[in-house]
Structure 1
Amino acid sequence: MSRFYQRPENALKRANEFIEVGKPIRALDALAEVIKSKKYRSTTYSEKVLEPIMIKYLELCVDLKKAYMAKEGLFQYRNMCQSVNVASLENVVRFYLNLAEEKTEAARQESHQAVVDIDDLDNVATPESILLSAVSGEDAQDRSDRVILTPWVKFLWESYRQCLELLRTNSRVEKLYHDTAQHAFKFCLKYARKTEFRKLCENLRSHLALMVKGTPSVTAVNLSNPETQQMNLETRLLQLDFAIQMELWQEAYKAIEDIHGLMILAKKMPRPQQMAQYYQKIALVFGKSGNHLFHAAALFRLFQLSRDLKKNITTEELQKLGSRVLVATLAVPLPSAHPEFDRFIETEKSAMEKTQKLATLLHLNQPPTRNGLIKDLVRLGVVATAMPQLQQLYHFLEVEFDPLHLCNKVKNILAFMAEVEETSYLNQYIHALEEITLTRLVKQIAQLYSTIRFERLVQLAPFASPFDLERIVVNAVRHTDMQIRIDHRNNCLHFGTELFEAQREDLPEGPTLQAMPSEQIRTHLITMYCVLNKATIAVVGNAPTKEERQLKAQIAALYHQNKARDHHQLLSRQKIIEDRKEYLEKLNTEREEEEGRRQEELIRQQLLAEQRRLEAERQERERLRQEAELRQVQARHLKEKVAQFSQTAIGQKVIKKMEDEDISKLDPDLIMARQLEELEKERKELQTKLRSQEKKIDHLERAKRIEEIPLLEKYLAERKVQDKLLWKQQEEERIAQLQEERKVAMLHRDRLMRMRVDKEKFIDNLKSARRSVFKEKLAEFETMYDTVRSDRLKQRREQRREQRRIQWIKGLHLQIRFLKNKTKTH
């Protein structure tokens, strides 16, 4: 390093000189040399000297659009300040971003261009764009606008990305990290940068994943901290809002997944305001994606949250929320009623997992259904909170069976929704309600007619064209398993009556007048069983046989024989179950208490660690302040001694010698070296004087100690006497207190002795009652024992008699065989 930069202030002065003569690149190199040097990474330089140098360095980087050099400087400055002076790093980063934003805004106003028509700022000059610019007919104004604004927009985007990468690993600048992310969202919205917004969301997502997997350290971001979780949640909610404003629905869905993951990580629900905002945004995303079922479920969750947790909700707000939930639920398409085989094919594992995942985002245990939502609306009184016209719409579509006037009634309500300004937020559901109404019309007409003219069907649906009505009929056949055949030759519809085409074993959906022919096959086997059962009873009769009566008598005898024992076993089992429940509840209580104590200990340890860290930072700042004051005092003393030295004879002699040697021809370093030699001599003489003064001070302290010793001994003797008197007084008080306690205990003993007779009498009565109960149970047991014993002895007697008879018969057979053999032999 050159001699001009032995102190960082010299580098700053030199850079200003280069700027004045129009050489900003040389000035930037001079400042970069200081920032990259390891010599100036002390805390003193970082606090007071390097911050102005860093600010000037960033100004030059912004003016010259040197984003990579700004990145290197910021990372070097972070290594200097992230452990000691985080405020300085925060000031520098904010200054850098504000300066880049100001330059970009000035360029935008100068170029008269609102947005940049380039797909990707990281790849501005593609071969296609260069060729297109060469052959295009754009004027000079358009080219100049692009040259002015595009580089600054690219520079600002790189600045945001660099700062986010710089700040993501330090918990002390976590607030600045989230502020930078929010400014980056606003930048993408202001300049319509959809590609950069996707990259920004991906970077934030990767940063969050690294935080989860990161190793713990002093400055690392801890996601278990509630403040960290809250800031991340607020940033993701803002990201979701900007994604919706920019109509990037895929990024909005990913942001919803990130928000749900943070909620699971936090293990507790966020504030009601944030949950309301979350449900509102997720309902909008589901609505834009065409998922009407989950859109209605999200609005229903928002209604529940607002009604239960919002204290000052008005009747108008509740009516508006209830109306929207009701209309959104009615606009959900009717569920498919395919046969079992088709349903098995379509409901594959990936679709079920996707539906379950969407239900998890709404904090639901299982995916919602249209019928389930409608039942919940009725059960929780949501229908009653909606507008009267919308309540009538619910009645027409879900309760009343009137196919001839259904479309006319619904048409009046839809016209009211479209014309009244207060219901303008419901216009998005009008088309879906028309589709649902036409489907309801076709299903109800199929229950009344077997054939209908197509012109008549068009008259019953005034707000549908013939083409739309035919499409509705085809979709009804396809999805709701209806039997309809369109006869274009005769211009009519035929509703089928085949019994072999059956739906699933579900109840009919919606208002129903009668079962369709295709649904009658489901109850055919049940009807056949009932008829056969009646015929069997008529032919055979219900009189029990002799064997059935004997079996019934044996069952009754066995029941009476074992009922007491079974009853006792049931009571014992009930007691065992109750004891087990109490034991499990006790275990759960102890586990919860242990978990609470563990959480409290963890929080206490975190608080202690934070207090130690703050105390260490405070001590470090105090030490740095003292060192700075000491250096200032030393510098001031050195200046005074230099002035004194110049006035002394030695100083005059040194000056005189330098004058004799022609000062103008001498090197300034040589003059400084001679001055330092004389100062060194003066310092050594001063140290000698200080040593002699130290010896004098030692003798003075020793004399003080000799005088203090007799006084300390006298004080200790007096203190010993006072302590002895105090001990005697406390001992007397203790003995008096024990005597008083003994008197009270004796009074209690005498009072309880008077109750002894009554206690013994009560115990004797209790024992006699228990003894009588025991004797009764013992008598019952002995009676049962004798009965069972006699029965078993009788059974054994019969068995032995039977065995002897069998043995006698076997012996008789053997004798007969022996006699036959003997006769044959003779």
Structure 2
Amino acid sequence: MAPHVRPENVLKRAEELLAVDQSADALNMLREIITSKRTRSTAITSLEPMMNLFVELCVQLRKGKLAKEGLYTYKNIAQNTSVGSIEVVFKKFIDLSKAKVTEAQAQAEKITLDQIEDLEATETPESILLSTVSTEQSKDRTDRAVVTPWLKFLWESYRTVLEILRNNAKLEIMYQTVAAQAFQFCLKYSRKTEFRRLCELLRNHLQSAAKNSSQVHAINLNDPDTLQRHLDTRFAQLNAAVELELWQEAFRSVEDIHTLLTISKRPAKLAMMANYYEKLTKIFLVSDNYLFHAAATSRYYNIRFQAKNLKEEDFTRAASLVLLSALSIPVINTSRFRTFEVDESKHKNSRLSSLLGMTRAPSRASLIKDVLSRGILSRVSPEIRDLYNILEVDFHPLSICKKVSPIILQIANDPELARYIQPLHQVILTRLFQQLSQVYDVVKFDFVLKLVNFPAPFEISSTEVEKFIMNGCKKGELFIQVDHAGDSITFESDVYASSKAAAADGGVIQLQPTPSDIVRTELSRLSKTLFATINVVDHEYVEARKAAKNIAIERAIVGAENEHKAALARRHVLEERAKKAETILHQREEDESKKRALRQQQEQIAEQKRLTEELRKREIDRIRREQEAIKEQEKRKLADEIISKGIKLDKESIETMDTQKLREVQIEQTEKKTKDVADRLRATSKRIDHLERAFRKVEVPLLDKDYEQQKQTDKLLHEERRRATIEQTKTQYEIRVKLQKRLRRMLPDYEAFKNKVLED
């Protein structure tokens, strides 16, 4: 079909093809019209019904590539005039794809039920034989054959729409809506692979938008509303990633949100930030990063604390989570990952700190100190407060595990708090060995195992205890030697050794100074003692110090006065310089304003002249175009008149001729045509005359023969019709006799029922 046909006629022709089950032909015809260059000038009101039918056929025939081509073309046509029409067509495309998936699921369910012939039979011979060669169940095979193609088509539909709508400010709302629907698709059908691809697709779109910000309809990330919509989409992405337990994608989503928050000039809503920190707590907990998990929990508590509709028990629970998460940070790094290099670890901690809005990486001591400074300790539950006192305040190496055991049982009863039991074991063991090292030099390993006594099912074996000791020694947190022959452990007695945990964690509760503490403070204590002795024994030294102090004070007073005078003089000089600079600046601004005004006046005059000249040229061009259009119109009219009379003219000759030449051609062709017609009529009349005479001579002997044949044919047809009529009449008679007999058998019941009704 020609591409210049009107859309109404195309739509009517497509509906006619659909009426005779030629959907593929109708789709190809619509595609040719929609992708044609001439369609770009068609009105949207005429093009939209055609697009709706095109989308329906694409979904019905599962032609994703054709749909993408047509939708992309329609977007380019309508984005400047009718954004609402684009949204209607794209929404219909998505809705039809969803409907097909729902229909396929219902069909698969029906097929599965129809295959079950006996509900009491658990296995059939066919199912047993099939199970030996295939691990799939019947429903799985049915879903793979019926539902999966439509699921794939729906996923491709989401990707197609997102690709077409990307980086377009006019279609930004529709883009975000489709992205949210794609997230719901991944959640509904648990499509983890597709969710990863969707996140990467949206991330690429955002990067492309930042690079191609100079395009005509490009989105502006500096616009607060646009940035807010992207933030909403990224938060929906984060929620979906957490629900699907894709923690790596969730962390990348958090990074995307942090980048957008950094760009945003508008502060984020409290509810959004609360959701942000809540998801961070889950991500850090899954990755066993208890340090940043505690920091994120603290941030989340700060935002929840600002809410006014929370109950007291909610505050208590939140405060308990903050303190417990801080206490659960292992003093010794026992992560399942290998230790990073120093630079890489610093970079990682700096990156994670920026996600939490911190200027530097947190530490266990700083988080616990923050909890105490904000008064959270007074809000926590009693068992968590007791746990804090046992681990951070009291000194009880022989009973620390015994005191902690009841608290662990209470924590284990709460599913949300039970996840902290494992890291708490590491903290408890660290405190146990740190405190034992201050009391004992050598202890039996069996004695230590008796102290490490946790309630079931949280017991720790001797192998785990030994592994913990080795890990602490490897990290430089503990200084212990294990003697397997003597079944004992020896605490390091090097007076120059110091624990990194003691320095990093603010020190450990000590019963008495250790040899290393004594050695480290020996010189400072000696200097303090000598200074006190000199002050008592040597009076001249004391007087000399007093005199030197007085001289220093006098010198300081004189120096302060001189500095004050110098400051006043410098201030006066600066004020004079500022006044001169201000005067020069003011004079320069006046000169610049005069030059600017003069330049603007000259530009206005030049612009006015240019506009006047352009207006004159446009008027001359307009008159010339009108004259040429009138001449062209007259020539076209004359050419059409010549063509309508049957005279052939090609387009090239029409373009090269003027009006006078066309009139001469018209007269010449008319005379020639009249002469040809007269000659043809004369020859034709003569030929027809002779031909008719020959026909009649041949026809005369054949008329009688044809008459006899026609009589025989009519007689046979009459007999055949009479016989068919008799057979049909007999058949109808037998059917009516049977019906009469059936009705007669029903007549007594009918009479009885009628009499009963009449009596009532």
Same fold (TM over 0.5): yes
Aligned to 1:102: 99
**Cα pair 1:223 1:229 within 8 Å, conserved:** yes
Q: Please point out which of 59, 63, 68 is paired with 1:62.
A: 59
Query: Is the contact made by 2:326 and 2:367 (CA closer than 8 Å) also made in structure 1?
Result: yes
Counterparts of 2:482 and 2:205, CA distance in 1: 59
Q: What's the secondary structure of 1:41's corresponding residue? A: helix
Q: Distance in 1 between matches of 2:294 and 2:273?
A: 16
CA contact (8 A) 1:86 1:172 kept: yes
> Counterpart of 1:202?
200
Displacement of 1:97 in angstroms is 0.3
Q: Deviation string for 1:65-99 (max 9, x for gaps)?
A: 10000000001110111000000000000000011
Q: How does 1:237-252 map to 2 (within 5 A)?
A: 237-252=235-250
SS at match of 2:102: helix
* Correspondence for 1:501: 497
CA deviations over 1:172-223 (Å, ceiling 9, x no partner): 2211101101111111222222221111111111111122222335522111
The AA in structure 2 aligned to 1:22 is: D
Equivalent residue for 1:655?
none
Question: Aligned equivalents of 2:19 and 2:229: distance in 1?
Answer: 44
Does 1:369 pair with 2:360?
no
Alpha-carbon distance in 2 for matches of 1:580, 1:314:
60
| 1:387-406 alignment, distance < 5 Å | 387-406=381-400
| Partner SS for 1:386 | coil
Identity of aligned residues (%): 36
Is the 2:14–2:29 Cα contact (8 Å) retained in structure 1?
Answer: yes
Instruction: Give how far 1:445 is off.
Output: 1.3
Counterpart residue number, 1:265: 263
Counterparts in 2 of 1:329 and 1:560: CA distance versus 1, 3 Å: closer
Q: Deviations over 1:218-266 (max 9, x none)?
A: 5221111111111100100110111111111111111001100110100
Alpha-carbon distance in 2 for matches of 1:333, 1:493: 22
Instruction: Check if 1:453 corresponds to 2:444.
Output: yes
Q: Is the 8 A contact 2:332 2:426 kept in 1?
A: no
1:79 equivalent in alignment to 2:73: no
Using the TM superposition, name which of 152-161 and 507-516 deviates more: 507-516
Q: Distance between the aligned counterparts of 1:77 and 1:360, measured in 2?
A: 44
Report the counterpart of residue 12 of structure 1 in structure 2: 11
Secondary structure, aligned partner of 1:493:
strand
Match of 1:174 among 159, 172, 175: 172
Flag the 1:319–1:19 CA change in 2: closer, same or farther, 3 A: same
The partner residue of 2:210 within 209, 212, 218 is 212
| Structure 1 Cα separation of the partners of residues 109 and 434 of structure 2 | 60
Deviation at 1:533, TM superposition (A): 6.3
Aligned to 1:359: 353
Tell me if structure 2 keeps the 8 A contact 1:104–1:153. yes
5 Å-filtered alignment, 1:631-646, equals none
Corresponding residue for 1:91?
88
Task: Find the aligned partners of 2:303 and 2:14 in 1 and give their Cα distance.
Answer: 61
Q: Which of these residues, 46, 50, 53, is aligned with residue 53 of structure 1?
A: 50
Aligned counterparts, 1:362-511, within 5 A: 362-419=356-413, 423-463=414-454, 464-503=460-499, 506=503, 509-511=507-509
3-state DSSP of counterpart to 1:543 = helix
Helix, strand or coil at the partner of 1:368: coil
Letter of the 1:286 counterpart:
F
Note the alpha carbon deviations across 1:1-58, whole angstroms, 9 max, x for none.
Answer: 449x7211111111112112121110101111211122232352x1x22111111111
Deviations 1:429-473 (A, max 9, x none): 112112211221111111111122222222222113222222232
Letter in 2 for 1:377: V
Q: How many corresponding residue pairs?
A: 549
Q: Residue 233 of structure 1 aligns with which residue?
A: 231
Partner of 1:327: 324
CA–CA distance in structure 2, aligned partners of residues 186 and 561 of structure 1? 78
Deviation, 1:480, is 4.8
Contact 2:395 2:435 in 1 (8 A): yes
Range with bigger deviation, 154-163 or 328-337: 328-337
Deviations 1:680-725 (A, max 9, x none): xxxxxxxxxxxxxxxxxxxxxxxxxxxxxxxxxxxxxxxxxxxxxx
Residue of structure 2 in register with 1:620 after alignment: none
Kept in 1, the 8 Å contact 2:101–2:150? The answer is: yes
- Cα gap change, 1:556/1:514 in structure 2, threshold over 3 Å: closer, same or farther? closer
Residue type at the aligned position of 1:486: V
Paired AA for residue 38 in structure 1: K
Shift of residue 542 of structure 1? 5.5
Q: Which amino acid aligns with 1:466?
A: S
How far apart are the structure 2 equivalents of 1:552 and 1:398? 49
Letter in 1 for 2:83: V
State how far apart, in whole Å, the 2-side matches of 1:63 and 1:349 are. Answer: 58
Aligned twin of 1:515: 513
Deviations 1:408-447 (A, max 9, x none): 111101111223xxx3311111121122112211111111
The one-letter amino acid of 1:37's match is S
Partner in structure 2 of residue 303 of structure 1: 301
Matched position secondary structure for 2:489: strand
Long gaps (5+) in structure 2? 112-130, 455-459, 579-760
Distance in 2 (alpha carbons) for counterparts of 1:346 and 1:542: 59
SS at match of 2:420: helix
In the alignment, is the contact (CA less than 8 A) between 2:213 and 2:220 conserved in 1? no
Change (3 A) 1:532 1:347: farther
Q: 2 CA distance for matches of 1:556 and 1:473?
A: 59
C-alpha change, 1:579 and 1:317, in structure 2 (3 Å) is farther
Structure 2 CA distance, aligned partners of 1:412 and 1:53?
Answer: 74
If the length of structure 2 is used for normalisation, what is the TM-score? 0.67
Match of 2:245, SS state, is coil
Change (3 A) 1:71 1:580: farther
For residues 377 and 113 of structure 1, the distance between their equivalents in structure 2, rounded to whole angstroms, comes to 60
Residue type of the alignment partner of 1:66: K
RMSD: 3.5
**Which position in structure 2 is the counterpart of 1:808?**
none
- The answer (yes or no) to whether the contact 1:401–1:444 under 8 Å persists in 2 is yes
Change (3 A) 1:576 1:289: farther
Listed one character per residue, the Cα deviations across residues 653-706 of structure 1 (whole Å, up to 9, x for unaligned) are: xxxxxxxxxxxxxxxxxxxxxxxxxxxxxxxxxxxxxxxxxxxxxxxxxxxxxx
Q: 1:525 deviation in Å?
A: 3.7
Deviations 1:365-401 (A, max 9, x none): 1110000000010010111111011111111110011
CA contact (8 A) 2:332 2:430 kept: no
C-alpha distance in structure 2 between counterparts of 1:191 and 1:210, whole Å: 29
Aligned-partner Cα distance in 2 for 1:336–1:18: 73
Cα distance in 1, alignment partners of residues 379 and 438 from structure 2:
33
Aligned pair in 2 of structure 1 residues 306, 145: CA closer, same or farther (>3 Å)? closer
Native 8 Å contact 2:391 2:431 kept in 1 = yes
Map 1:782-821 to 2 at 5 A: none
Cα displacement (A) at 1:144: 3.9
1:82 and 1:223 mapped to 2: Cα distance? Answer: 20
Amino acid at match of 1:399: V
Q: What secondary structure is seen at the aligned counterpart in 1 of 2:521?
A: helix
